[in-house]
């Protein structure tokens, strides 16, 4: 079972993108570089087996490739931002996800039970090691869903789950409706399926700035909320054991 990290990237957003405050390519590149520093260390420590970095703004990734040279880190760059401005950015991100699966050598070799961890590339999942280790052994789709909202900063799927639940998903995001709501509706429509896990066994601790308004993920009370959630998850894991 391999764990492949897919980092999605848009270094140079299209001008006039609605609901996007962080548009400066220099600032965005600095945040992607910071995240790559963290994830490269996770790769060296064996938390993940491979990293695929995919950018849909056609940005020249050569400077990043030189800074993070590794045979286990694959780079993909193309331009694919010419879509309706009324569509939410989730539409573009999941077109990127699908194209990455089509063009990446690593992703083309994913087996039915191998796992792909999709992270929005500017964000850092500080406790990725624990999140990966605590995940259920078998799942087709893995996420955190609260009611009608799915947190899409971190998602995971198996090779089999990609074909069943992710391939073609971008078409359903061809709307101004936020994709977190659209994805929740689709998962709810799947009914009871033990391989669709909508509560992560260990809560991810994500740092970084939201692109929509520039606010940080970590607020004043985030550490306390995390400790509470983690204690609940730990109790649940003890019960499962």
Q: What is the pLDDT of residues 60-97, one digit of tens each?
A: 999 999 999 999 999 999 999 998 888 888 999 999 99
What integer best gives the mean pLDDT of the chain?
A: 93
Measured CA to CA, the distance from residue 77 to residue 88 in angstroms comes to 21
In the predicted structure, residue 239 carries a pLDDT above the cut 70: no
Quick check: helix, strand or coil at residue 150?
strand
Confidence of residue 130 (pLDDT cuts 50, 70, 90): very high
CA distance 10 to 54: 8
Phi, psi (deg, nearest 5) at residue 54: -125, 125
Does residue 51 have a pLDDT over 60?
Answer: yes
How deeply is 49 buried, as exposed, middle or buried, from its count of CB atoms within 10 A (0-12, 13-18, 19+)? middle
pTM of the model: 0.94
Q: Residue 125 pairs with which residues in a beta bridge?
A: 206
The pLDDT of residue 236 is 77
Would you state the pLDDT for residue 210? 86
Give the pLDDT score at 85. Answer: 84
Q: What is the pLDDT of residue 240?
A: 60
Domain covering 3-216: architecture: Alpha-Beta Complex (3.90)
How many Cβ atoms from other residues are within 10 Å of residue 28's Cβ?
22
- Percent of the residues in the chain that have a pLDDT greater than 70, as a whole number: 98
Residues 196-201, mean pLDDT to the nearest whole number:
96
> Region 122-136: what's the mean pLDDT?
97
Split at pLDDT 50, 70, 90, the class of 4 is: very high
Which of the four pLDDT bands, split at 50, 70 and 90, describes residue 21?
confident
Residue with tokens 């790769």, as numbered in its chain: 43
Please count the CA atoms within 13 angstroms of the CA of 224 that sit on its side-chain side. Answer: 3
pLDDT tens digits along 27-49: 999 999 999 999 999 999 999 99
Residue 16 reports pLDDT greater than 80: no
Taking residue 162's Cβ as centre, other Cβ atoms within 10 Å add up to: 22
Domain boundaries, the chain: 3-216
Q: Which helix (H) or strand (E) holds 142?
A: strand 141-146
Task: Give the pLDDT score at 222.
Answer: 87
Q: Which two tokens stand for residue 57?
A: 């703004």
pLDDT tens for each residue of 177-196: 999 999 999 999 998 899 99
Q: Average pLDDT, stretch 210-230?
A: 85
């Amino acid at each position: 079972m391999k764990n492949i990290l897919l980092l999605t990237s848009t270094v140079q957003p299209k001008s006039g993108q609605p609901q996007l405050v962080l548009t400066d390519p220099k600032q965005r590149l600095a945040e992607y570089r910071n995240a790559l520093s963290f994830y490269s260390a996770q790769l060296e420590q064996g938390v993940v087996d491979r990293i695929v970095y995919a950018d849909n703004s056609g940005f020249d990734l050569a400077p990043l490739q030189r800074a993070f040279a590794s045979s286990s880190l694959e780079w993909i760059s193309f331009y694919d931002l010419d879509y309706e401005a009324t569509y939410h950015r989730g539409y573009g991100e999941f077109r990127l996800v699908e194209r990455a699966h089509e063009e990446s050598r690593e992703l083309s070799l994913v087996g039915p039970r191998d796992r792909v961890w999709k992270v929005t590339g500017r964000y850092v999942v500080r406790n990725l090691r624990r999140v990966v280790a605590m995940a259920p052994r078998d799942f087709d789709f893995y996420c955190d869903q609260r009611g009608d909202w799915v947190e899409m900063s971190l998602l995971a799927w198996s090779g089999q789950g990609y074909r069943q639940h992710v391939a073609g998903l971008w078409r359903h995001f061809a709307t101004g409706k936020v994709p977190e709501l659209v994805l929740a509706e689709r998962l709810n429509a799947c009914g009871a399926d033990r391989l669709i896990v909508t509560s992560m066994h260990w809560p991810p601790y994500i740092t970084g700035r939201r692109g929509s308004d520039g606010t940080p993920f970590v607020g004043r009370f985030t550490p306390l909320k995390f400790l509470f959630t983690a204690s609940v998850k730990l109790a649940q894991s003890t019960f499962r054991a």
